[in-house]
Amino acid sequence: MKVYKILHKPTGLYFTPSRGNGNLSKIGKLYPKMPSLKWVECIRLVVGWSNTLSKKDLAIIKHFGFKPDERTGGYYIDTYAHPPIDEWEIIEIK
């Protein structure tokens, strides 16, 4: 049985539907049918306050060019982005 994931090539993260944690994750979602790249035209990016940033958070910050908060020096990001379709790839998982 073929299953698929949607990969964001610049960050190495996968698209996943989410209600509160953003749409990029290290694991992603498996799709039993070929997904549509229309799903990734608008994605939610979330990076919460933390003393240490995860590799996922660092990849998001670096690729999308976010700057730290001027007062605290930390990051709190909860925004939407419209990355180009050519940054995405549908991959088949065997």
Encoding tokens for residue 94? 């065997």
Q: What local confidence, expressed as pLDDT, does residue 70 receive? A: 82
Quote the pLDDT of residue 62: 96
pLDDT digits (tens, 9 = 90+) for 18-30: 888 899 999 999 9
Specify the pTM: 0.89
- Neighbouring-strand partners of residue 24: 15
Q: What is the pLDDT of residue 74?
A: 86
Domain boundaries, position 18: 3-93
The 10s digit of each residue's pLDDT in 66-88 is 998 888 888 999 999 999 999 99
Residue with tokens 């790839």: 89
Q: Which helix (H) or strand (E) segment is 13 a member of?
A: strand 13-15
How many structural domains are present in the chain?
Answer: 1
Distance CA 37, CA 35 (A): 7
Given a contact cutoff of 8 angstroms between Cβ atoms, the answer to whether 90 and 6 are in contact is yes
- Any idea what the Cα angle at residue 84 is, between residues 76 and 23, rounded to 5°? 40
The tokens 């379709």 sit on which residue? 85
Question: What is the per-residue pLDDT for 21?
Answer: 87
Q: Which amino acid is at 31?
A: Y
Tokens read off for 30: 């498996």
